[in-house]
Amino acid sequence: MKIMIAPLKKGIAFLSFLVIFIIHSSFLTISGGKMNGSFLEETTEEARMRFEFLSLTNPFLHGWETHSFYTSKMTIYDSLKLDMAGLSRDAFAYGLKGLDRLILEGRAEKQHILSIIDFSQPSCQKRLYVIDLDSYSLLFHTWVAHGRNSGGEKANVFSNKPSSHKSSLGFYLTGDTYRGKHGYSLRLEGLEKGINDNALRRAIVVHGADYVNESMASRLGYIGRSQGCPAISKALYRPIIDNIKEGSCLFIYYPSEKYLESSPLLN
């Protein structure tokens, strides 16, 4: 019996914390939050409590709940109902964590724009999210292609090698625009050594493509694939590029423990 007491106490303590957290969250949603238009605003202290709990269940976020940028901006996920839009909460949390690091290092010029490609979703779903963190707005939510050797309907194999025709995970900074074989395009600088730092060498860019469209997604259940570029529809490529160009953060996510454990920006 003595041997069982310590684990039992820990289990009871955790369950108690969980119950308190759920009640606290419900109270915030019903009566404690301050509504500004359609956005639910939390205080920094409320956000800290909410994401202390998130960090308990996600080891890759341990310690990050004390960063004011992270805790204040994580409230955007619930405010914009990004879960209803299909975006993984982990993807958003990792994206913020990496952006916070880039800001601290003075590398992100457009600090209010965060773009996330959530490759945990199939290509028939809208899995590109461009978020304005200052105005609490989802600027774009649309389809995006993955590399033809990364998978069929879903991307699940990734590479940093030239000519692999695979997508690369991780954090990128957007560069300048140019006109190439795909027309108006946006250069991407891969920031993670061994993971995506060959992006410029591989000519991994944001560009428009005829094979990325709603009709194909609805009719076939998937969209066309690229040679590794995050290609987007011809209808939206120009406004998206113009909003994210020149120093914003783009994060390509997939729930890969290998990536999460080796990412220089997340560890």
The pLDDT of residue 7 is 47
The pLDDT of residue 113 is 98
Q: Which two structure tokens, joined as six digits, stand for 208? A: 């428009």
User: Of the candidates 107, 265, 91, 252, which has an alpha carbon nearest to the alpha carbon of residue 193?
Assistant: 265
The pLDDT of residue 217 is 96
The pLDDT of residue 22 is 47
Collect all residues with Cβ–Cβ distance below 8 Å to 240 and sequence separation of at least 6: 128, 130, 140, 142, 206, 232
The pLDDT of residue 64 is 55
Angle at 121 between CA 202 and CA 183, to 5 degrees: 40
pTM: 0.77
Contact 76, 133 (CB under 8 A): yes
CB 55: neighbour CB atoms within 10 A? 17
CA atoms of 267 and 262, how far apart (whole Å): 7
Tens of pLDDT, residue by residue, the chain (267 residues): 444 444 444 454 455 545 444 444 443 333 333 333 333 344 555 555 555 555 545 656 555 555 678 888 999 999 999 999 999 999 999 999 999 999 999 999 999 999 999 999 999 999 999 999 999 999 999 999 999 999 999 999 999 999 999 999 999 999 999 999 999 999 999 999 999 999 999 999 999 999 999 999 999 999 999 999 999 999 999 999 999 999 999 999 999 999 999 999 999
Contact 150, 141 (CB under 8 A): no
Collect all residues with Cβ–Cβ distance below 8 Å to 81 and sequence separation of at least 6: none
Cα-trace Rg, the chain: 20
φ and ψ of 44, to 5 deg? -60, -40
The pLDDT of residue 33 is 36
The pLDDT of residue 68 is 72
The pLDDT of residue 72 is 87
The pLDDT of residue 15 is 52
The pLDDT of residue 46 is 57
